Amino acid sequence: MGTDEAVLAYGGGWLDRAGELRTDPERIAALLADPASTLLPLWRDRCLVAGDVPVRLSGERAAGALAVADETVFLGMDEGSAVFAVDLSGLPEAAAVEVAGAGAAVDVRALVGRLDPAGAAVQAYARGLLHWHRQQRFCGTCGASTVARGGGHVRSCARADCGRLLFPRIEPAVIVLVEAPGAPDRCLLARHAGAPEGAYSTLAGFVEVGESLEDAVRREMAEEAGVTVTDLAYVGSQAWPFPAGLMVGFRATAASEQVRVDGEELLEARWFTRDELRERAAAGRPLGRADSIDHHLLRSWLAAGA
């Protein structure tokens, strides 16, 4: 996808995840004590900000946060300095804000337009990983407590005769821009249950167990819109750790123009020409959320035609 990748929020991989350090607890401890290291404090899926800027802690402030944190995870190396995330969710909100020397706790998605891409990506990464820790405190096999290991990238059951390992879980979903089979060029957009009147977006759905991504595309398009699709082409993917998603974008072509929505998930689906989409955008109807791959799929489809 080349340079288009840079436009997708929450991705880009600027941080060196330094996976080889995760299995070296002494090195991780030394990095935690290193004054050059920084900590991103989070409180229950929210980042702690001063003004619009997520705070990064070091020195005494970092030591104060570590002393009261529920969990500390190693995110990686940023130009030679370690970056950790600390979870202050066990504190009341006001106490977490105060410990971090912040002004407020806000969702990263509310900030994304004001953060640089690397800043948004690291906040989303921290949010997703800490969320996972809070959901995996007990072993699903024996019910005993679990403890974080590997710099916070695995949890293990504390019961010696079980020892089950739990890894961060990612839930993939496919999102598809479906094109009409004949001229003029049109794409299929749907109005989802719960969406505001007149808000249309591309079709999407979760990948199920035992399915390939392609299987999921074919099943979801058939179930939701009654459309048989061919000529699937991968477009790109987007990290979506809200809380654990990975959005995998495709284009596909419908075998026929007939559409039949299920009336539950989708209330309506119809074909739009590029001119119609441009008119809608000009009239102030945004083409998906600016930080979403939905928006990217639509923008790139518009750009591909006159």
Looking at the Cβ atoms of 15 and 144, the one nearer to Zn ion is 144
- Which region, judged by CB under 5 A, interacts with Zn ion, from 153-161, 167-175, 203-211, 291-299? 153-161
**In the set 164, 219, 270, 299, which binds Zn ion (CB under 5 A)?**
164
239 Cβ contact list (under 8 Å, min separation 6): 10, 11, 121, 124, 125, 128, 245, 246
Could you give the CA distance from residue 235 to residue 232 in angstroms, rounded to a whole number?
A: 10
50 Cβ contact list (under 8 Å, min separation 6): 101, 102, 103
CB of 137 to Zn ion, least distance (A): 12
Site string for Zn ion, 119-148 (x = CB under 5 A): --------------------x-xx-x----
Could you give the CA distance from residue 140 to residue 265 in angstroms, rounded to a whole number?
A: 31
The answer to the question of residue 62 lying near Zn ion (CB under 5 A) is: no
Looking at the Cβ atoms of 113 and 143, the one nearer to Zn ion is 143
Beta bridge partners of 57: 39
Looking at the Cβ atoms of 110 and 142, the one nearer to Zn ion is 142
The answer to the question of residue 256 lying near Zn ion (CB under 5 A) is: no
CB of 138 to Zn ion, least distance (A): 8
Could you give the CA distance from residue 85 to residue 17 in angstroms, rounded to a whole number?
A: 13
The answer to the question of residue 157 lying near Zn ion (CB under 5 A) is: yes
Q: How many residues bind Zn ion (CB under 5 A)?
A: 8
Looking at the Cβ atoms of 122 and 166, the one nearer to Zn ion is 166
CB of 160 to Zn ion, least distance (A): 10
Site string for Zn ion, 64-103 (x = CB under 5 A): ----------------------------------------
In eight-state DSSP terms, residue 32 is H
57 Cβ contact list (under 8 Å, min separation 6): 38, 39, 40, 41, 65, 86, 100, 101
- Which region, judged by CB under 5 A, interacts with Zn ion, from 149-157, 171-179, 199-207, 268-276? 149-157
Could you give the CA distance from residue 178 to residue 216 in angstroms, rounded to a whole number?
A: 14
In sign, the C-alpha dihedral spanning 247, 249, 288, 9 is positive
Could you give the CA distance from residue 204 to residue 159 in angstroms, rounded to a whole number?
A: 40
Site of interaction with Zn ion (CB under 5 A): 139, 141-142, 144, 157, 159, 162, 164
